[in-house]
């Protein structure tokens, strides 16, 4: 976790954009009007514009909340996790009014946007909002929980791993529901609170919930790899499995 923070902050905006594109790709085949002519599928893509300054302010605010994972789950300071859940409800009231909202094991977050066709399998987007602590803050140009943005870089723990994913999804979803968007299939969003420590209290509990409801998915997208700058070009890695598989 000794990341080069300048590099991470440099690409955070790119990752937000990438995740928004991933969101659009995920839903496009089930959400938009589809016509098949001569065995060729034609998709009508739906796009929205996200107000950058407002989005960055919301993202910066989340980075100030110390949702730090503890290897001993019971010793986690859940005050910050309660604060984070309240924060996203406050920042995205439309999302939480339109979507079904459920907490799993108190801190696992599930949102469901109802689709038109209940015969289709739903789609799933996932991320996690817990972060690793910062023991040595002297290596940081700005405090690790400052959410500092200098008009070019964002400095904070969690910018990429993985609150960037959380807020890219929420920003996209917020704009879509604002534009009266209804998917063809149900769309689920799941945010884990205990990914960094691999705790069974986080994502596994969410999985158990889906199993208990006999919910399986057509598509599931989780956080991907990183973006690297090589020879003046940006390369995004697409993950096809988790670190240890399933």
Options 162, 195, 196, 222, the catalytic residue: 195
137 has catalytic annotation: no
Question: Of 146, 195, 185, 236, which is closest to residue 34 (Cα–Cα)?
Answer: 185
State the angle between helix axes of 163-178 and 5-31 in degrees (0 to 180), rounded to the nearest 10. Answer: 40
Active site residue 130: yes
Find the catalytic residue in 130, 162, 186, 223.
130
- Catalytic residue set: 130, 195
């Amino acid at each position: 976790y000794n990341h080069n923070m300048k590099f991470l902050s440099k690409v955070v905006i790119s990752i937000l954009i990438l995740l928004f594109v991933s969101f659009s790709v995920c839903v496009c085949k089930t959400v938009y009007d589809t016509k098949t002519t001569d065995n060729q599928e034609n998709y009508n893509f739906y796009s929205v514009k996200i107000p950058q300054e407002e989005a960055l302010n919301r993202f910066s605010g989340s980075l100030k909340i110390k949702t730090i994972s503890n290897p001993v789950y019971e010793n986690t300071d859940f005050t910050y996790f309660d604060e984070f859940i309240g924060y996203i409800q406050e920042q995205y009231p439309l999302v939480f009014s339109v979507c079904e909202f459920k907490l799993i094991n108190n801190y696992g977050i599930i949102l469901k946007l109802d689709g038109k066709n209940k015969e289709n399998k739903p789609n799933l987007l996932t991320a996690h909002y817990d972060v690793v602590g910062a023991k040595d803050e002297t290596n940081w140009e700005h405090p690790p929980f400052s959410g500092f943005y200098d008009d070019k870089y964002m400095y904070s723990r969690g910018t990429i791993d993985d609150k960037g994913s959380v807020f890219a999804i929420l920003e996209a979803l917020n704009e879509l529901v604002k534009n009266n968007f209804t998917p063809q299939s149900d769309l689920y969003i799941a945010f884990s609170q205990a990914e960094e420590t691999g705790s069974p209290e986080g994502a596994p509990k969410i999985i158990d919930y889906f199993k208990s409801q006999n919910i399986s998915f057509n598509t599931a997208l989780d956080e991907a790899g990183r973006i690297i700058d090589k020879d003046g070009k940006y390369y995004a890695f697409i993950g096809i499995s988790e670190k240890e598989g399933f």
